[in-house]
Structures are given as structure tokens and as C-alpha cells.
Amino acid sequence: MKIEANGITINYQIDGADGGRSEAPWLVFSNSLATSTAMWDEQAAALKDSFRVLRYDQRGHGGTDAPSGRYPFDTLLADALGLLDALAIDKAHFAGLSMGGATALGLAERHPERLASVIVCDSPCQSTPQSSQQWEDRITVAQQQGIEALVEPTIARWFPAETVAKNPPYLDKVRAMIRATPVNGFIGCAAALAAHDYAAAVATVKCPALFLVGEKDGPAPAMRKLNEKLPGSRYVEIPGAGHIANMDRPVEFTRAVRDFLLGA
């Protein structure tokens, strides 16, 4: 389904709103860079009986518009807020992974009245001089060589070496999502990731918060620090999982989300 919000057309999907469960709480999932709503297939299937699950493609991804130019990260926050407004959702649990995790934390800081809880997955929620340069390098690759040149390097970063060597079927699903990402969308969102910082204000978050990360994902140490800086927040590390932890270890990931939400 598509809807106009914040000046663009946003693609979204709702699961679990049928069967007399219109009073069920909303749970929003926000995707990482170079993926789409499809990254959340297993979570939506597992949680739709308890929640109205809203997935959407961030700006420049999947079926959502991909304007040219560099996107300020605050624009990604405004897109999410605009989608909630357009769908008349007053309050929701909000979960996001990587780029989506930073989106989630930014919303919790800037618009606390709209979030029942926040789940930040596999995201340090800030750029560093080193990571900013890496994003600029990837932008150059996308501009000069196209998305295909980024597929295998991205897989190698996102998943543990032993997982890549085994090449389970879900890696091809991820490869397909990366390939389908518009160059404009990759460049715009990579630019957002090169210049953002929601980690600095993490202590201002008032709603229940879960920091969820794969054991073998690079941001794990940074996310432990986020948890330490936010009193009362929860931290869960998923054994053996890499960056796209929800696809790497879907059962364990979904269990952590469900356990947190039932207590939130």
C-alpha cells in the first residue's frame, strides 16, 4: 500500500489488523539501508497475532520514492512521523535496525509522546569521522559503478564469515534487496548515515527502550554504551548473529522483541 507523507509517496504494509484485533497495539518496523519491508517478513508473521504490525520502506528504498540528493537524517525522522500521522496512529512501539535503529532512537528523543517503546537494533546511532569517510567511499562506488558493485562487500560486512561461507538461502534474499535499491536512495541515505548523532542525547529517552544487537556485529560495544547511558533500558545480545540480526537469528531476535514488548 502507498500513502503520501512528508512530500513523498511511502510504501507500507500492515499485518495483523484483521480478526477483531483493531484494539491491538501498533508495532512499527523500520528497515536498514539497502533493504525493504521484506527484511521483516519473519517478525511480521510471528507478531501479527499480538500487534498491528506496520512495516514501511524508508525514503529511497523498496516501493517508496527515491528523490535525488543527500538526505538529512532528520528528514527520515519526518518521513516516519508523517506516515504515522497519515495513518492516524497516535502512539506505537517503534523498532528499527541499523539505519532504522537510528530512526527509532531519533524519534524517541524528538517525539516521545508518539512512542510507547523503542527498540534500537544493530545501530550505534551516530557517525564517526571514520564511518563518515566509509559512507562517502560507498557513495562514490554507487555513483561510478552502480549498486551491483556493493552487493558482495555489503554481505561480507553484514554477516559473519562462517555464515557467508555456508551461504544460507536468506543471503540471496538480502542480495536481492540490495540490488533492488535505487542508486538515488542508497546515496541519499548513506549521506544521512555519514552525518547523524542520536547517541549523544540517549539519556533523554523517557519510554521503555531495548538495545538489541548481534553478538558478532561491529556496533555491539557502542550499543552497550547506549544501554549504560540510559537508566532502565534493556540490552540483549544475540549469540552468533551479525549485523542483520533479525534475519541471521530470527527466532532469537523475535523472542527478544516479544519478551520486551510484553513487559513494556
pLDDT value of residue 23: 83
C-alpha cell at 18: 484483521
For the chain, give me the number of helices (H) and strands (E)?
A: 11, 8
* Share of residues in the chain with pLDDT > 90 (%): 97
Q: Give me the chain's average pLDDT, please.
A: 97
Quote the CA–CA distance of 94 and 115 in Å, as a whole number. Answer: 7
Neighbour-count burial of 52, counting CB atoms closer than 10 A to its CB (0-12 exposed, 13-18 middle, 19+ buried): buried
Among 45, 35, 87, 101, CA closest to 258: 45
pTM: 0.97
Query: 20: pLDDT confidence band, cut at 50, 70 and 90?
Result: very low
Among 186, 100, 176, 175, CA closest to 139: 186
Among 8, 209, 1, CA closest to 95: 209
Quote the CA–CA distance of 230 and 180 in Å, as a whole number. Answer: 37
Among 117, 114, 107, 80, CA closest to 196: 107
Contact 178, 61 (CB under 8 A): no
187: CATH: 3.40.50.1820
Quote the CA–CA distance of 138 and 120 in Å, as a whole number. Answer: 24
Among 164, 134, 138, 168, CA closest to 150: 138
pLDDT value of residue 147: 98
Torsion of CA 113, 115, 116, 119, to 10 degrees: -150
Determine phi and psi for 59, rounding to 5 degrees: -45, 130
Section 160-166 average pLDDT: 97
Contact 201, 109 (CB under 8 A): yes
Torsion of CA 54, 198, 124, 196, to 10 degrees: 100
- Packing angle between helix 99-110 and helix 183-193, nearest 10 degrees? 50
Number of domains in the chain: 1
Section 238-258 average pLDDT: 98
Helix, strand, coil percent content, the chain, rounded in steps of 5? 50, 20, 35
Task: Please determine, for residue 51, whether its predicted confidence score (pLDDT) is greater than 70.
Answer: yes
Per the structure, the complete domain to which residue 60 belongs is given by 2-263
Tens-digit pLDDT profile for residues 207-217: 999 999 999 99
Quote the CA–CA distance of 58 and 101 in Å, as a whole number. Answer: 12
pLDDT value of residue 258: 98
